[in-house]
Amino acid sequence: MQTAHIPARLALEDGSIWRGRAFGAGGTRLGEVVFNTSMTGYQEILTDPSYAGQIVVMTAPQIGNTGINPDDHEARQVFLSGLIVRELSPCVSNWRASDTLDHWLSEQDCPGISGIDTRALTHRLRSCGTLKGALTTDPAISDDDLIRQARNWPGLDGQDMARQVTCETPYAWEDATPAAWEFRQWVLPEGTIIPPDGFHVVAYDFGIKHNILRRLTAYGCRVTVVPAFTPAADVLALEPDGIFLSNGPGDPAALPYAVQAVKDLLGQVPVFGICLGHQILGQAFGGQTYRLKFGHHGGNQPVKHLPSGRVEISAHNHNFAVDPATLPPDVDVTHTNLNDGCCEGMRHKTLPVLSIQYHPEAAPGPHDADPLFIEFVQLMAARKAPASQEA
Q: Is 173 helix (H, G, I), strand (E, B) or coil?
A: strand
Q: Provide the residue ranges of all domains of the chain, joining segments of one domain with +.
A: 7-152, 162-390
Nearest to 208 by CA among 360, 334, 36, 314: 360
109 φψ region: left (φ > 0), alpha (ψ -120 to 50), beta (else)? left
Q: What is the pLDDT of residue 192?
A: 82
Whether the Cβ atoms of residue 301 and residue 337 lie closer than 8 Å to each other: yes
- For the domain bounded by 162-390, which CATH number is listed? 3.40.50.880
- For 173-221, the pLDDT digits (tens) are 998 887 665 666 677 877 788 888 899 999 999 999 999 999 999 999 9
- For 148-167, the pLDDT digits (tens) are 999 999 999 999 999 999 99
Determine which one of 278, 296, 359, 367 is catalytic. 359
Q: What is the pLDDT of residue 4?
A: 58
Query: For residue 47, is pLDDT > 70?
Result: yes
Distance between CA 265 and CA 236 in Å, rounded? 8
Dihedral sign, CA of 138, 38, 181, 188?
negative
5 is catalytic: no
Determine which one of 275, 305, 344, 348 is catalytic. 275
What is the percent of the chain where pLDDT is above 70? 96
Q: What is the pLDDT of residue 180?
A: 62
Query: For residue 368, is pLDDT > 70?
Result: yes
Local confidence band at 88 (pLDDT 50, 70, 90 cut-offs): very high
390 is catalytic: no
Whether the Cβ atoms of residue 325 and residue 367 lie closer than 8 Å to each other: no
361 is catalytic: yes
Query: For residue 20, is pLDDT > 80?
Result: yes
Determine which one of 13, 297, 361, 367 is catalytic. 361
Q: Which residues contact 245 (CB under 8 A, 6 or more apart)?
A: 204, 206, 262, 271, 272, 273, 274, 276, 277, 278, 280, 281, 355
Please name the CATH architecture into which domain 7-152 falls. Answer: 3-Layer(bba) Sandwich (3.50)
Q: What is the pLDDT of residue 390?
A: 46
- For 212-237, the pLDDT digits (tens) are 999 999 999 999 999 999 999 999 99
Distance between CA 154 and CA 353 in Å, rounded? 35
Distance between CA 87 and CA 112 in Å, rounded? 11
Cis peptide before 249 (omega within 30 of 0): no
pTM: 0.94
Q: Which helix (H) or strand (E) holds 207?
A: none
Q: Calculate mean pLDDT across residues 253-273.
A: 98
